[in-house]
Amino acid sequence: MRTLVILAVLIAAGCSNGGPDWNTRSGGAPLVIAHRGASGDLPEHTLEAYALAIEQGADVIEPDLVVTADGVLVVRHDPFLSASTNVAEVEEFANRRREVNGRSDWWVFDFTAEELGRLRATQPQPNRDQSFNGQYRIPTFEEFLTFIDEAEADCDCVIPIEPEVKWPEQFAAMGLDPLPIFNQTLLDFGLFDADAPVVVQSFDAGFLIRMNAVTPLTLAMLYSSPDEPGYDMNGYPLDAVAQFADGLGANKALLLNPNGSSTGLLEQAHALGLDVHVWTVRDDREPHVGETVEDELRALYALGVDAVFTDYPATAVRVRDDM
């Protein structure tokens, strides 16, 4: 088990703004993680959304990763493409639509990276601004890391990243195992060591166990709310998670009761040496606690979460700074 914990990595990178008497594991200020970039304002997982998140003061950037037919990691949340790209409008790809697991769609594993490069991103949330649809490219993981390098040069700072590897075992079953591709890419960018400002997250305990055996990187196990369809904790209680991961990425409903009291999960995780990164706070959704998103953020910060995933980094930064 690594002695270097998630928040210590990021503080060492110089990306925490500090602050007195926080209830985080380190005692420092909680981090703001840009969930898919500034995805409340711009189409998610685009270089433009990441750039806006940095401008808004986010401490950490989160890319989700899936694998193309030719074994390239690209930055998308879902393996299907219709929700976040203009693929349905591209005539040359009309015949690529097919049914997988009961869903008729276009699938990332049926496209090469070059083909995906011809698509453009769209805003998947219908209630959000659609005026930027069709303007921005679908970046590869390498393009994302190059962007981070360039942004760091511009700000003369370190910008930590928290990639989530999506569908790892399903991709591996197709002969597209993301693990070696992911590790080699980070190695190529000089990010494959225990001091790298990288946290690798996944809902798949088996993937994290495989990662733990071959990588020095910091790992985080994602936990979902019991009412979230499609996810579970894979039968791994916290003490088992602490054997192969360094942190917990928890749904906010697992940390706070609706009345704002603690469920006890954060305290248990901290006692086991696990940092807690909570997801996802959104300005345009009903808060789990309180009347406003600001109420929810204040409750999470007061509880002692070590980081908050948000689609709207500017709001999370403002509330943290006000506290």
Q: What's the burial of 93, exposed, middle or buried (CB within 10 Å: 0-12/13-18/19+)? A: buried
Query: CA-to-CA distance for 182 and 201, rounded, in angstroms?
Result: 12
How many residues in total does the chain contain?
323
How large is the C-alpha radius of gyration of the chain? Answer: 19
Query: CA-to-CA distance for 168 and 237, rounded, in angstroms?
Result: 21
Residue 45 annotated among the catalytic residues of the structure: no
Query: CA-to-CA distance for 228 and 271, rounded, in angstroms?
Result: 26
Six token digits for residue 96? 């690529």
**Spatial contact of 205 and 244, defined as CB atoms under 8 Å apart:** yes
Q: Which of 35, 45, 277, 288 is catalytic?
A: 35
Q: Per residue in 23-46, is it b (16+ CB within 10 Å) or e — as a string? A: ebbbebbbbbbbbbbbbbbbbbbb
Query: CA-to-CA distance for 75 and 121, rounded, in angstroms?
Result: 11
Query: CA-to-CA distance for 163 and 139, rounded, in angstroms?
Result: 14
Query: CA-to-CA distance for 94 and 270, rounded, in angstroms?
Result: 50
Residue 35 annotated among the catalytic residues of the structure: yes
Residue 265 φ/ψ, nearest 5 degrees: -65, -40
Query: CA-to-CA distance for 216 and 16, rounded, in angstroms?
Result: 22
Name the residues annotated as catalytic: 35, 77
